[in-house]
Amino acid sequence: MFISKALAATSEAAHGGGAESGGNFPPFDPTYFASQLLWLAITFGLFYFLMARIVIPRISGILETRKDRISQDLDEAQRLKDESDHAHAAYEQELAEAKQKAHAIAQEAKDEAKAEADRDRGKVEESLAKKLSQAEAKITKIKDAALAEVGTIAADTAEVIVQELIGGKITKAELAKAVSASGN
């Protein structure tokens, strides 16, 4: 019920039907324009003064500080990047030198191993040559001994064959003469 009475009173005031209604809406009433413009100018001037003297210098100070900090950060980043590039170049150079040293060490070890293998092979070949010459000497000695005894073996064999086949005895001189005659 209260709400309906409030709505009715508002409706009458909006249509100009109430006892308190004096006519126009005050901000649009031309009698108040001069005072409104004066207060507008005073308020605008006050806000302008506050903005120009307090707010804008603080904002520009903050922006300048941020700009300086960003500039310093960029300079620091560039310095660190240069250091990093320098360190990377030094690392690459040291790595190349290390690879070169490793290659030289490997080549030296390979050469040493080859020289040692050649020395060992030379020793083995020398040892084998000695053993071969000793074996050849033994073979020659055995061969000479065997060839020297061929006549004796032939004579003994002939004696045994003659005894078995003929059943007679033959002298050693005759056997030696017969063996030497058959060897020519």
Residue 78: inside a domain: yes
Residue 21: inside a domain: no
Residue 48: inside a domain: yes
What are 37-85's pLDDT values in tens digits? 999 999 999 999 999 999 999 999 999 999 999 999 999 999 999 999 9
Higher pLDDT, 95 or 143: 95
- DSSP code string of 110-122: HHHHHHHHHHHHH
Residue 155: inside a domain: yes
Residue 42: inside a domain: yes
Task: Tell me the whole-structure pTM to 2 decimals.
Answer: 0.39
Measured in Å, how far apart are the chain's first and last C-alpha atoms? 169
Residue 14: inside a domain: no
Please state the domain count of the chain. Answer: 1
pLDDT at 106: 94
For residues 180 and 155, give the distance between their C-alpha atoms in angstroms, rounded to a whole number.
9
| Residue-range definition of the domain harbouring residue 58 | 31-183
* pLDDT (mean) for 165-171: 74
Residue 37: inside a domain: yes
Mean pLDDT rounded to a whole number for the chain: 84
Confidence of residue 2 (pLDDT cuts 50, 70, 90): low
Burial of 159 (0-12, 13-18, 19+ CB in 10 A): middle
Residue 10: inside a domain: no
